[in-house]
Amino acid sequence: MKSVHIVTTIAELRAEISRWRGKGDSIGLVPTMGALHEGHLSLMRQTKNRCARTIASIFVNPAQFAPHEDFDRYPRTLESDREKLSGTDVDLIFAPSVAEMYPQGFASRIEVGGPSQGLETEFRPHFFAGVATVVAKLLIAAMPDFAIFGEKDYQQLLVIRRLTADLGLPIEIGGGAIVREVDGLAMSSRNAYLNPEQRKIAGRLNRILGDAAHRARSQNAVAAQEEHARSELLCAGFDSVDYVAIRDAATLEKIETVARDARILAAVKVGGTRLIDNMAV
Amino acid sequence: MKSVHIVTTIAELRAEISRWRGKGDSIGLVPTMGALHEGHLSLMRQTKNRCARTIASIFVNPAQFAPHEDFDRYPRTLESDREKLSGTDVDLIFAPSVAEMYPQGFASRIEVGGPSQGLETEFRPHFFAGVATVVAKLLIAAMPDFAIFGEKDYQQLLVIRRLTADLGLPIEIGGGAIVREVDGLAMSSRNAYLNPEQRKIAGRLNRILGDAAHRARSQNAVAAQEEHARSELLCAGFDSVDYVAIRDAATLEKIETVARDARILAAVKVGGTRLIDNMAV
């Protein structure tokens, strides 16, 4: 099995892409922070189905972590990530250093309003500016035809769609369905932080959200089901609930009844680990 | 004389550029707010000397005006601008509507730190975010090889260079020397606001800055010459002085002595009109 080629600079990335463009190949990009799991691999496959060439980027972006968050201990597993991708149709890994993405004197930040308001932003105020800035840089560096992001970070997906439209980047942004473990826990690189007891509790998040979504739809009740789900999460063993919210699926605006497409989203903590999940209502 | 072709949408702009790229033509962009004068035309000529194709954009950008500023009365002279450009080698005018640049739901803003700090920002706090956002959109829309901005807006030029480097846009940013009237007044679309008396006072700005630059260099004095120039501007009839500052020419950082390349920059008011100017020390 041939190892996937890795490039670490934007110049090398563009040189490879330019060669492919010269042959008329379409380009797909899957931005990741590495520590790849089946959720990421499903994004790679969806991209390969649409584009002649698939690029995976691997970059743990310091700008989207607050000082008290897990930037330092976030798993960095480039060699095993590369092995995982060598079994796929991924053509190239772009794994830049922090200095390549944020060189000396770097001073820009992209703020996206709209879907970034509330939910994650209430608990991670600088998160989406960090995400938007790095994603804009990755999209501009590769200028793919298509880029895909997992729906597990649903609010992030909407923010990136808004960003891409606002900047006028000629790139289609796809969303990949959440890939789940056997008990329904959404796959996440942060699941590696969980001990066996916490892991068992974590598996209850998706079921509680699923039940709440079902009840919200059948009873057309939003606020009551949000409140009910919050209690259930605490009873199920989660240490705290940052939010559990039923929102308009397109804008994340607050809704009172489930008239249009809605989405239930939650962020919880178990031990020191913060987990998010969401699903259609 | 054939009229220059005008397009009003990003899609049309890209279609034209794509045709030219297909022939191997290089592309230059001159972003303007219209009300074109000899300063703009000199930017067009410099672009034409470097690129096979020159595009002028004309867009009065609401995002860079504060509510109390002159957005409503800023001169809009598209037909006469087009006539002026029809006598030049400009190949295309891009003149989008506000709705084309900021469609329904638009929610993004690019903040550039570094050179944007102080000076203009102290008096126009939202100015550079408005400039950076629209310039990023124009650069992404045209993706030229070269774009040029006048040195009259010297701080803006440094902010745009920072922005372009930070986003990794593969575009060279040129700066065009200030074009001046016979008495040395920097050409500006806002000079049209001046009555004859104010126009006479306005002509003194560049001479006072030139004298201050000369003295700062020969006496190696910064703060004293800034203070001296401020007094002279008020004596010369300007109604107020927002700032007059001698700064590092590359970073706009404060300096105490003129050891490296320095720049003197000023913003003043005469009547209701705000004028800026700058020159090398």
**What's A75's domain CATH number?**
3.40.50.620
**For chain A, percent of residues with pLDDT exceeding 90:** 96
Residues A122 and A15 in one domain: yes
The pLDDT score that the predictor gives to residue A259 is 80
Cβ contacts (< 8 Å) between B162 and chain A: which residues?
Answer: 105, 107-108
In a domain, B123, yes or no: yes
Q: What is the mean pLDDT of residues A101-127?
A: 97
In a domain, B106, yes or no: yes
Q: What 8-state DSSP symbol labels residue B77?
A: -
Best of A9, A126, A158, A166 to disrupt the B interface (most B CBs within 10 Å) is A166
Query: Does the CB of B24 have a partner CB in chain A at under 8 Å?
Result: no
| Cβ-nearest to A166 among B108, B132, B170 | B108
Residues A160 and A209 in one domain: no
Residue A220 pLDDT exceeds 90: no
In a domain, B184, yes or no: no
Residue finishing a domain among A125, A142, A176: A176
Query: Does the CB of A274 have a partner CB in chain B at under 8 Å?
Result: no
pTM beyond 0.95: yes
Residue A7 pLDDT exceeds 80: yes
Residues B168 and B215 in one domain: no
Radius of gyration of chain B (CA): 19
The pLDDT score that the predictor gives to residue B1 is 64
In a domain, B110, yes or no: yes
The pLDDT score that the predictor gives to residue A61 is 97
Cβ contacts (< 8 Å) between B132 and chain A: which residues?
Answer: 108
Residues B15 and B152 in one domain: yes
**For chain B, percent of residues with pLDDT exceeding 90:** 96
CB count, 10 Å around CB of B35? 20
CB count, 10 Å around CB of A231? 12
pLDDT band at residue A221 under the 50/70/90 scheme: confident
Residues B137 and B240 in one domain: no
For residue A234, the enclosing domain spans 189-280
Taking an 8 Å cut-off on Cβ atoms, the answer to whether B111 and A106 are in contact is no
Residue B176 pLDDT exceeds 80: yes
Residue finishing a domain among A147, A176, A205: A176
Cβ contacts (< 8 Å) between B158 and chain A: which residues?
Answer: none
Residue finishing a domain among A141, A176, A211: A176
Residues A201 and A171 in one domain: no
State how far the Cα of A36 lies from the Cα of A40, in Å rounded to an integer: 6
Residues B28 and B156 in one domain: yes
Residues whose CB falls within 8 Å of the CB of residue A125, separated by 6 or more in sequence, listed in order: A66
Query: Does the CB of B33 have a partner CB in chain A at under 8 Å?
Result: no
Query: Does the CB of A103 have a partner CB in chain B at under 8 Å?
Result: yes
In a domain, A184, yes or no: no
**For chain A, percent of residues with pLDDT exceeding 70:** 100
Residue B126 pLDDT exceeds 80: yes
Residues A149 and A260 in one domain: no
Taking an 8 Å cut-off on Cβ atoms, the answer to whether A168 and B10 are in contact is yes
Helix (H, G, I), strand (E, B) or coil at B107: coil
Q: What is the mean pLDDT of residues B17-41?
A: 97
Taking an 8 Å cut-off on Cβ atoms, the answer to whether A166 and B140 are in contact is no
Candidate list A5, A37, A40, A228, residue with the active-site label:
A40
State how far the Cα of B219 lies from the Cα of A99, in Å rounded to an integer: 40
The pLDDT score that the predictor gives to residue A231 is 98
In a domain, A60, yes or no: yes
pLDDT band at residue B87 under the 50/70/90 scheme: confident
Query: Does the CB of B119 have a partner CB in chain A at under 8 Å?
Result: no
pLDDT, tens digit, 9 for 90 and up, residues B140-160: 999 999 999 999 999 999 999
| Cβ-nearest to A140 among B10, B132, B168 | B168
Residues A26 and A139 in one domain: yes
Query: Which CATH number fits the domain that encloses residue A202?
Result: 3.30.1300.10
pLDDT band at residue B230 under the 50/70/90 scheme: very high
The pLDDT score that the predictor gives to residue A260 is 83
pLDDT band at residue B200 under the 50/70/90 scheme: very high
In a domain, B181, yes or no: no
The pLDDT score that the predictor gives to residue A1 is 64
- Closest-CA residue of B relative to A115 is B107
How many distinct structural domains can be found in chain A? 2
Query: Does the CB of A170 have a partner CB in chain B at under 8 Å?
Result: yes
The pLDDT score that the predictor gives to residue A87 is 82
Query: Which value, to the nearest 10 degrees, does the dihedral of the CA atoms of residues B183, B184, B186, B190 take?
Result: -20
**Please, what is the average pLDDT of chain B?**
97
**Please, what is the average pLDDT of chain A?**
97
State how far the Cα of B144 lies from the Cα of B60, in Å rounded to an integer: 20
CB count, 10 Å around CB of A187? 18
Using CB atoms within 10 Å of the CB of residue B186, give its burial: 0 to 12 exposed, 13 to 18 middle, 19+ buried: buried
Q: How far apart are the first and last CA of chain B?
A: 43
Residues B52 and B133 in one domain: yes
Separate counts of helices (H) and strands (E) for chain B: 10, 10
In a domain, B30, yes or no: yes
The pLDDT score that the predictor gives to residue A207 is 98
Residues B129 and B13 in one domain: yes
Whether B40 is catalytic is: yes
The residue ranking higher by pLDDT, B210 or B88, is B210
The CA distances from residue B256 to A13, A24, A163, B216, B217, in Å, are 43, 56, 41, 11, 12
pLDDT, tens digit, 9 for 90 and up, residues A139-176: 999 999 999 999 999 999 999 999 999 999 999 999 99
Residues A172 and A217 in one domain: no
Of A109, A7, A16, the C-alpha closest to A61 is A109
